[in-house]
Amino acid sequence: MTAEGNGSIKVIDSHSVHKITSGQVVIDLQTAVKELVENSLDAGATSIEVRFKDYGLKSVEVIDNGSGIAPEDYDSVGLKHHTSKLASFEDLSTVLTFGFRGEALSSLCALSEAVTVTTATASEAPMGTILELDRNGRVKSRSEKTARQRGTTVAITGLFRPLPVRRKELERNAKREFGKALNLLSAYALVPCAKENKGVRLTVSNQPEVGRKTVQLRTDGTPSTRASISSLWGPRSLENLVDLDLCFQVQTEKSVLKRRTITEGEDSGTQVRVRGLVSKFAVGCGRAATDRQFFYINGRPCNPSKVQKAFNEVYRTFNATQSPFIVADFILPTNTCDINVSPDKRTIFLHSENNLVAGLKVSCILRSILHLIFYAIFISKSSRNRSRPPGVRLM
């Protein structure tokens, strides 16, 4: 084909279409791993182990103790748009699972040398089945009866081998890409794996080409974000943090009201709650960089850049030289945001984002001022009563 093409419009063959669209779903090592971990969480796993070999260049394996895959679903697990989680477009506004498009496994099949699924449901355990999927996500071999407790193991070998340019990029930046994957896995460890009602044990290890396997990250399954922070970075990292619990009303923006054909008077706005942890404002309690800032919308990790900017701006009015550690989960009605924006689902569209950011800033500033007042009262009291033992530090 010439650079200009030959002028006539032709349909792209289905194999190429599959490769092109798959490349948008799984864009790098971190999204590949994220998709597998999300599947394990969706399957109700309470234990997830991620094993990288050679920083993910050789393989990535995710082992869970979730529901397993039923034999009648074997043929569809790797097929595009085959999912057990969503049946119609209307369901999208209420979906609570991480996955809903049935694209991850099919994309990983198109973009890897090999994909193997080993699985057992409760009724089949302790025996399981090994499925080898081909590039099109079809089951190319099935070997019955391997020892397997309830759950699923998905192993991806030779990620991006079918796309030579992307593979080269991955090899060139292997350690950096691995670091990004660890950071995203930390985001999952902090909130999705630390939900109040159900903790998930997450273990991440790497086996380098030479040398010993090392554990990179581990949580013990305690259902609390504080426990996860302590497991990831040590108990001392909690000393400089305070709980974040904000609640504010967001006015719906005019453009959204117009779409819903509601007038401003009829709109009561949306209640937003933000839960998590943030660095204390006192100088020395923040971090040198913005490296540990984790955002979620209804427990789904995402990158809301305007929200992140707002947090940093407010923090710097109190502590000009540092950046805060942040874990912030925004809890809002599912019909006020759209999770189906980018193929990798890392971008979430907030319908009234500007008003939300404004409300957040006001709420953060008020809370910070309240803390400063408490702190000032505490300091003046403790200077009057020096015999009082230290230990209670608000900020």
- In the complex, the residues that contact ligand ADP under the rule CB under 6 A are 35, 39-40, 42-43, 64, 66-67, 69, 77, 83-85, 99-106, 152
Residue 99 within binding range of Mg ion, rule CB under 5 A: yes
What separation in angstroms does the CA of 392 have from each of 227, 318, 379? 20, 20, 11
CB-based contact 292:279 (threshold 8 Å): no
Q: Which is nearer to ligand ADP, 77 or 278 (CB)?
A: 77
Choose from Mg ion, ligand ADP, none: what does 43 bind? Cβ within 5-8 Å by kind: ligand ADP
Q: Which is nearer to ligand ADP, 48 or 277 (CB)?
A: 48
CB-based contact 184:34 (threshold 8 Å): yes
Tell the smallest beta-carbon distance from residue 139 to Mg ion (Å). 18
Burial annotation 178-217 (CB, 10 A radius, 16+ → b, else e): bebbbebbbbbbbbbbbeeeebbbbbbbbbeeeeeeeebb
Cα distance between residue 167 and residue 308, in whole Å: 31
CB-based contact 314:357 (threshold 8 Å): no
- Token pair 């013990």 in the structure block, residue: 220
Residue 68 within binding range of Mg ion, rule CB under 5 A: no
- Give Dmax over CA atoms of the chain in angstroms: 87
Tell the smallest beta-carbon distance from residue 302 to Mg ion (Å). 16
Task: Report residue 342 as tokens.
Answer: 């980018």
Say how many CA atoms lie within 13 Å of 48 toward its Cβ.
Answer: 32
Q: Which is nearer to Mg ion, 62 or 272 (CB)?
A: 62
What separation in angstroms does the CA of 83 have from each of 90, 102, 119? 15, 4, 17
Tell the smallest beta-carbon distance from residue 314 to ligand ADP (Å). 36
Query: Cα–Cα–Cα angle for 112, 118, 122, nearest 5°?
Result: 145
Choose from ligand ADP, Mg ion, none: what does 295 bind? Cβ within 5-8 Å by kind: none
Choose from Mg ion, ligand ADP, none: what does 49 bind? Cβ within 5-8 Å by kind: none
Q: Which is nearer to ligand ADP, 66 or 359 (CB)?
A: 66
Interface stretch with Mg ion, choices 35-43, 136-144, 256-264, 325-333 (CB under 5 A): 35-43
Q: Which is nearer to ligand ADP, 106 or 322 (CB)?
A: 106
Choose from Mg ion, ligand ADP, none: what does 181 bind? Cβ within 5-8 Å by kind: none
Tell the smallest beta-carbon distance from residue 362 to ligand ADP (Å). 37
Q: Which is nearer to Mg ion, 83 or 186 (CB)?
A: 83
Beta strand pairing status for 151-159 and 112-120?
A: antiparallel
Interface stretch with Mg ion, choices 17-25, 39-47, 120-128, 173-181 (CB under 5 A): 39-47
Tell the smallest beta-carbon distance from residue 21 to ligand ADP (Å). 13
Judged by the rule CB under 5 A, the positions of this chain that interact with Mg ion are: 39, 99, 104
